[in-house]
Structure 1
């Protein structure tokens, strides 16, 4: 029997990625939007807290096991900002373009060695809303913030994120290339390796 898991997101890209990654485990990932679940209030102070908040919220409303993702960009020169506020870095009407412009403004004049940063992704899987031991999987992707945008692929801060070992910006990688090395790709790979024992208890 196929086991159903609700994804605490309506993002189609994430939905397809998780379904592909977990296909051999006989599970079906369903977006929370299909159950009219509103977005959870992300009141946590860390990626782990927010991922758990989102997973618990989705599990509580749907009665299904839930999977949530919280991710963002940490810039060393900004003491880890934008961090958990990455999506809304530039304020209430934030957009990728506004967020990127603000980031460039804050790092203006800094040399490359002072522009180190990393993308971080945390996945939380909860068997039910009261699960005392959520499965937590993390991935980290290190790079340098460019002085101007480069590349047309990806989204968010990808055009400003330079990967020295690949001699490429994240936005120059194809989706397949990115998924192999990115923070989310790493976290999804760990989830795939670790989730099987958690699925046994699910009806």
Structure 2
């Protein structure tokens, strides 16, 4: 990807925007709020469908190369919840803490301190809203969700997600390390590699 390329990151989530700025260093990134673009209606039934909806919406409104992601936490032991509903797990206007608390409540109901879980990110890159060949990349990071909340960094479920091979929560891991191991970082590296091959 050429340096200084103008890219729309089709999100209003400030946490995601910060991560993308670090991952796509050297490019001029915009988010939806920068261009006064409203959020797309996410009514897909999978991470991929939602990422495509957001990418097409952003590209149509901005006429810029657009990257969109749909990501979330998956806990197989909780019927694969929250999945595509991760951002609104505890309700449409739920805060990150509300969503984390709902997971903790469910663990407490099951009398469990932790459960296997993983973060997933599906990234889509498109040149324009009718791009017939979108670039698609997926990243995952496995670990556990816990009733123990810790750390000051990150966002979403990071304070209760403990990655494999780490004895601290995702929210306690330094940003420089998180930007190498996170589901979004893994998907971004794949996306960049695919972009270079395709264009």
TM-score, structure 2 as length reference: 0.89
- Point out the more displaced range, 91-100 or 118-127: 91-100
Cα RMSD between the aligned structures?
A: 2.0
The answer to whether structure 1 residue 156 and structure 2 residue 152 are counterparts is no
Show the counterpart of 1:132: 132
Structure 1 residue 168 displacement after superposition: 1.8
Show the counterpart of 1:5: 7
Structure 1 residue 29 displacement after superposition: 2.3
C-alpha change, 1:17 and 1:33, in structure 2 (3 Å) is: same
* Structure-to-structure mapping, 1:71-90, within 5 angstroms: 71-90=71-90
Work out the number of aligned pairs and report it: 196
C-alpha change, 1:102 and 1:111, in structure 2 (3 Å) is: closer
Structure 1 residue 153 displacement after superposition: 1.8
Contact 2:15–2:155 (CA<8 Å) still a contact in 1?
A: no
Distance 1:19 1:11 in 2: 13
Classify the secondary structure of the residue corresponding to 1:138: strand
* Structure-to-structure mapping, 1:1-203, within 5 angstroms: 2-23=4-25, 27-108=27-108, 109-111=110-112, 115-198=115-198, 200=199
Q: Residues 71-99 of structure 1, C-alpha deviation per residue, up to 9 Å, x if partnerless?
A: 10000111211001101000123011111
Classify the secondary structure of the residue corresponding to 1:168: coil
Structure 1 residue 53 displacement after superposition: 0.3
Q: Residues 123-169 of structure 1, C-alpha deviation per residue, up to 9 Å, x if partnerless?
A: 11011101112101111010111122122221111111112412221
Classify the secondary structure of the residue corresponding to 2:99: helix
| Contiguous gaps of at least 5 residues in structure 2 | none
- Point out the more displaced range, 137-146 or 3-12: 3-12
Distance 1:192 1:47 in 2: 19
Extract structure 1 runs of 4+ deviating beyond 6 A: none
Classify the secondary structure of the residue corresponding to 1:195: helix
Contact 1:66–1:126 (CA<8 Å) still a contact in 2?
A: yes
Classify the secondary structure of the residue corresponding to 1:43: coil
Structure 1 residue 196 displacement after superposition: 2.3
C-alpha change, 1:156 and 1:19, in structure 2 (3 Å) is: closer
Distance 2:183 2:106 in 1: 24
